[in-house]
Amino acid sequence: MKQRKLGSGGLQVSAIGLGCMGMSFAYGGGDDAASIRTMERAVDLGVTFFDTAEVYGPYVNEELVGKALRGVRNKVQIATKFGFRILPHGHGLQRMAGVDSRPEHIREAVHGSLERLGIETIDLLYQHRPDPAVPVEDVVGVMAELVREGKVRHLGLSEVSVATVRRAHAVHPIAAVQSEYSLWSREPERDVLPACRELGIGFVPYSPLGRGFLTGAMTSTAGLAQDDFRRTLPRFQDEAMRSNLTLIGQLQQLATGRGITLAQLALAWLLQQDEHIVPIPGARQIRHLEENAAAAAVTLSSPELAVIDAIFRVDNVQGARYGLGDLALLED
C-alpha cells in the first residue's frame, strides 16, 4: 500500500489505517480472536497505522492492539489518545465522566497506555478531546516533555478548532489532527482542513464510512446490538435515516458503474481531498478490511468527484452527527 506523511516530523504511515475502537467498544459484541486475525491480515496488506485510545473499553482495546501487534512492532505505527476522566466502575460508555487533561493525568494516562500496549514509545499521541479547564499550551507542553523523554514520537489533537490548532502548533509541531470527516460529515472543510494544509499538519478522518452507514449495509437500527451507541445518534433515527438512504441510493449508481463498493467509493473520495489525509475506517472482519484497503488503489475522475459532491451537499444530510451532550465536547 502507498504511504502518506503526517506532519513535517517524519511520521509516515499507510494511506489507509485501521481504527480499532469498534473491536472492543461502542458497537456491541466483539470477538478478540477475530479482531487479532483482522489486525494481522491488515499488516499483510500493508496497513501500518493502527488507532486506539485508553477510553476504548475502557483500556481493553489498547491491550488487544498491543497483543496483536507485538510481533510486528517495527512494521507499524500505533496511535492512542488520552483526555477523558474514566470512572473505576461501570460498563463501556458509562465509565466516561467528562474530560481531563490535567498534566498529572496526561502522564498517568501515557504510562498506562505504554504498559497496556506493551511498547516503549507511542508513535502518535492525541489529546482525545479539548479540556476547557486546561489551556492547550499547557497540554502540549506536557506532551512535548514526553517526546523529549522518548515516550512519544509525534503529537496530535482531536476535534479541535482552528484557533486551538494554531496555539498548539506554536508550542510544539503537531503531526495530525483527527476529526470526524466523511461524505456526510464535512465540517472540517470549512476551516480546519485549510489550516492544516497551511501549517503542514496531516489530517486523520475517523468514522470515514459514517459509522457503517456509507457502506450501504444499514437500512435501520433493528439489527444493532442494544448497547450500540449508534442507536442514540440523531442521524440514525428513523426519519433521518430514511432521508439519508436516498443519498446512498444515488451514490450506489456511481459505485456500480465503476465496479467498486460504496465503501471504496467513500474512502477514495476522502483520499483525493488532500495528499496528507489518512482515513482510519474500522473493521472487525477480514473481508471488510480487505475491501477498505483496496480503496487506496481507486482514483476518481473530476466529473465523478463533482457528482459525489452534489449528492452529499451538507444541506442534503439529515440529523446531527452527535447528541447535544457529545457535541458539547467538540470545539467549533
pLDDT in 10s for each residue of the chain, 332 residues: 999 999 999 999 999 999 999 999 877 777 999 999 999 999 999 999 999 999 999 999 999 999 999 999 999 999 999 999 999 988 777 888 899 999 999 999 999 999 999 999 999 999 999 999 999 999 999 999 999 999 999 999 999 999 999 999 999 999 999 999 999 999 999 999 999 999 999 999 999 999 999 999 988 888 888 888 889 899 999 999 999 999 999 999 999 999 999 999 999 999 999 999 999 999 999 999 999 999 999 999 999 999 999 999 999 999 998 777 776 677 86
Three-class DSSP category at 157: strand
Q: Give, as one character, the DSSP assignment of residue 319.
A: S
**Quick check: is 302 in a domain?**
yes
For residue 1, the tally of other CB atoms under 10 A from its CB is 17
Instruction: Please give the pLDDT value at position 61.
Output: 96
To which H or E segment does residue 231 belong?
A: none
**Quick check: is 144 in a domain?**
yes
For residue 49, what is the domain's CATH number?
3.20.20.100
**Quick check: is 83 in a domain?**
yes
**What pTM did the predictor assign?**
0.95
Cross-strand partners of 205: 179
Instruction: Please give the pLDDT value at position 328.
Output: 65
Cross-strand partners of 154: 124
**Quick check: is 21 in a domain?**
yes
Half-sphere exposure of 320 (CA within 13 A, CB side): 11
Cα dist from 96 to 54, 82, 85, 280, 320, whole Å: 11, 12, 6, 23, 21
d(CA 110, CA 99): 15
Domain range for 139: 3-327
How many domains does one find in the chain?
Answer: 1
Cross-strand partners of 80: 125
d(CA 154, CA 91): 31
**Quick check: is 332 in a domain?**
no
Cα dist from 53 to 69, 178, 284, whole Å: 15, 13, 16
Instruction: Please give the pLDDT value at position 100.
Output: 96
- Which residues are known catalytic residues? 56
